[in-house]
C-alpha cells in the first residue's frame, strides 16, 4: 500500500528526547506525538474557521441540558 506522507527532519537528539518523554504515555510513537503537537499549535493560531453560529451553540447547550448530560 502506497503511503502518502512527507518527511520533516528534526535533530536526532530531539527525536531521542521525545522518544524518552513519551515512554509510558498514551503517545505510541514520535511521529504521532509530533503530528499531534503541531496540530495543537496550529489550532492555537486560529487556523480553523468555526461554521457554527452562537444560536447553534445555544441550541446544542439546551439539548444537552434537556437530555440530562449537563446541568
| Spatial distance between the Cα atoms of 44 and 46, rounded to a whole number of angstroms | 5
Q: Give phi and psi for 10, each to the nearest 5.
A: -130, 155
Nearer to another protein among residue 17 and residue 29 (C-beta) = 29
Number of residues forming the site for another protein (CB under 8 A): 31
Residues 9-48 that bind another protein (CB under 8 A): 25-29, 31-32, 35-36, 39, 43, 47-48
Contact 30, 22 (CB under 8 A): yes
Contact 43, 52 (CB under 8 A): no
Nearer to another protein among residue 14 and residue 60 (C-beta) = 60
Contact 21, 30 (CB under 8 A): no
Q: Which residues bind another protein (CB under 8 A)?
A: 1-5, 25-29, 31-32, 35-36, 39, 43, 47-49, 51-52, 56-57, 60-61, 63-64, 67-70
Amino acid at each position: 500500500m502506497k503511503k502518502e506522507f512527507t518527511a520533516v527532519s528534526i535533530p536526532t537528539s530531539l527525536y531521542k528526547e521525545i522518544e524518552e518523554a513519551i515512554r509510558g504515555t498514551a503517545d505510541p510513537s514520535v511521529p504521532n506525538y509530533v503530528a499531534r503537537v503541531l496540530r495543537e499549535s496550529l489550532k492555537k493560531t486560529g487556523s480553523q474557521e468555526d461554521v457554527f453560529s452562537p444560536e447553534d451553540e445555544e441550541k446544542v447547550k439546551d439539548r444537552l441540558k434537556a437530555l440530562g448530560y449537563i446541568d
